[in-house]
Structure 1
């Protein structure tokens, strides 16, 4: 807030997951997982269905006991934090509340239980844009409003660390844009923001770093641009030509891989666009389009996790 009381508290908010494992009878939900989440950045936590994301977050918050390994926040287990509400805010599902209670009263009950000033409830509602709905009963809230109320509850203690599981679920495009700006703003204040999501295009806009897991294992971690740029093919070249057969034959002589999309364009990997242009010139092939298609986060994610989605 403008008066400074919402600035993050002192101390590091680094999250460290080390060798984390969770075994459920014959299913290993999380398998020797290690990664770090740094303060001052938004980290996207990504994986296909059944990858172990929610189980990992629940172990991080001491809601599930690990079979092996550790998960710490600022060097401590969540259960060992002196004042967890003031250190960590978490939303693992849309906010739940008594259906007859208003949004503001729901937050005031939490404040009373946590020993926080009642005015924090009003401030938190304003922070997430729910002040106009403060006196509406919870049963009349949309899913998107419930998501915002959950985030307001997580922010009551002015935490250094925010952990959110699918926070954009139920939000309309305007709400998603608001969420992006809100979380980026928290990270800019030096807070640690860990966000699990299936909205990969939104993650590419929101996240500074990503942690990608599949079948309980880490498959890639790093800044978004580096993860996207790390793919071996580095993108593909899209070509449109009336002489597709001639160009395909010439490119394959250069060890390029050539496929055709539904619209008849050639999709070339293994060589870059200038090489395609030189090959076309040498073969006297007319080009109508020549463009490099860079991989995006969704494409990289699907390639890294191909065949690893499981239903657990």
Structure 2
């Protein structure tokens, strides 16, 4: 049986106990194909344990995790179906990047030419003959992604793939993963870089203390945060504008800036115009993924 066309990852009731510690506690979520899903949580949330259970590197206490309807260990040729990296690529220090990938190709029954194709895909062709000991952390991350892509898989599972990448490298990775998802494949990415996840991910799964906190499209979750939107206003006539807005909105002052809630920026601008108030700044502040994450996981960080 081969991976189904959608390659969907389904976690159902997944639980892992280490003695009295519940690293993952009855966790369920689905990762849809054709989309990038960010897997988020504070330190000790159980993210890495969950990824290891999906890849059958850790045996769950209970529950299941499937990829395209199958357990990872049941695939006859898993590298051709699922690509994964759980840490920066490890390789023999005296081996070149090309030879490292060629050995992986030989072990997986793939043509050796896939090594050069994968190096080209991740931008490491110029460093193909360099030994691993001379690779920077960013280059090792790229080599790890190349190894995950060797089998041209339908699903990618990556744990903190941006570690060690510079801004250009992070943008490259974002474009690569979005292209991969755009081909109808499945991408699950664990990361602490919330600003990057807001740019990269279509959906997010947030866990804390091993439990699901929130899941869904990024935009839906960010827009649904309880914190009200507010308008940031800078003006030399702050008191006059505050008076003009009295009864229409809630106005507070912070370091000489007016923070207005209850009405939008257009209404604030119209009130300023009627009151003859000059505006130097008028910005509608919306909650971002970082605010949502911190609100949803407040006090839930753990140590595992």
Distance in structure 2 (CA, Å) of the matches to 1:152 and 1:221: 29
Task: Choose which of 264, 268, 293 in structure 2 pairs with 1:272.
Answer: 264
The question of whether the paired residues in 2 share the 8 Å contact of 1:280 and 1:287 is answered with yes
- Shift of the 198–253 alpha-carbon distance from structure 1 to 2, 3 Å rule, reads same
- Is 1:306 paired with 2:291? no
Which residue of 2 is the match for residue 6 of structure 1?
none
Aligned partner of 1:123 in structure 2 is: 117
Change (3 A) 1:232 1:285: farther
| 1:209 maps onto 2:203 in alignment | yes
Q: Is the 8 A contact 1:233 1:269 kept in 2?
A: no
For residues 229-280 of structure 1, the C-alpha deviation after alignment (integer angstroms, 9 at most, x for no partner) is 1113352111234555676688675673x5443x321223344345556777
Partners of 1:198 and 1:180 lie apart in 2 by 15
In the TM superposition, what is the alpha-carbon distance from 1:221 to its structure 2 partner? 1.2
Q: How far apart are 1:217 and its partner, in Å?
A: 1.6
Match of 1:175, SS state, is helix
**2-structure distance, mates of 1:193, 1:72:** 14
TM-score, with normalisation over the residues of structure 2?
A: 0.90
1:36-80: per-residue Cα shift (whole Å, max 9, x none)?
A: 111111111111111111111011101111122111100111111
Q: 1:136 aligns with which of 124, 130, 134?
A: 130
Q: State the distance in 1 between where 2:232 and 2:125 align.
A: 50
Q: Does 1:62 align with 2:59?
A: no
| 1:197 to 2:211 alignment | no
The separation in 1 between residues aligned to 2:143 and 2:181, in whole angstroms, is 20
SS at match of 2:44: coil
Asked whether the 8 Å contact 2:4–2:68 carries over to 1, the reply is no
**8 Å Cα contact 2:252-2:258 kept in structure 1:** yes
**Partner of residue 226, structure 1:** 220
Q: Residue 97 of structure 2 aligns with which residue?
A: 103
Unmatched 5+ stretches in structure 1: 1-8
CA–CA distance in structure 1, aligned partners of residues 119 and 269 of structure 2: 57
Deviations 1:149-190 (A, max 9, x none): 111111111111000001110001111111111111111111
1:44 aligns with 2:38: yes
CA distance in 2 between partners of 1:280 and 1:217 (Å): 47
Query: Take 1:311 and 1:161, find their aligned partners in 2: how far apart are those partners?
Result: 29
Query: What's the counterpart of residue 296 of structure 1?
Result: 288
Q: 1:87 to 1:292 in 2, by over 3 A?
A: same
Corresponding position of 2:179 = 185
What is the TM-score with the length of structure 1 in the denominator? Answer: 0.88
SS of the aligned residue for 2:300 comes to coil
**Are 1:168 and 2:162 matched, yes or no?**
yes
Q: Number of residues paired by the alignment?
A: 301
Structure 2: 5+ residue stretches without partners: none
Aligned to 1:24: 18
Q: CA deviation at 1:227?
A: 1.3
Taking only aligned residues, the RMSD between alpha carbons, in angstroms, comes to: 2.3
Call closer, same or farther: CA 1:25–1:259 in 2, change over 3 Å.
Answer: farther
Contact 1:43 1:209 in 2 (8 A): yes
Q: Which range moves more in the overlay, 46-55 or 160-169?
A: 46-55
After TM superposition, the structure 1 = structure 2 runs for residues 238-277 of structure 1, keeping only pairs within 5 Å, are 238-242=232-236, 244=238, 256=250, 258-261=251-254, 263-274=255-266, 276=268
Q: Contact 1:238–1:292 at 8 Å: present in 2 too?
A: yes
Question: 2: CA distance between counterparts of 1:267 and 1:99?
Answer: 56
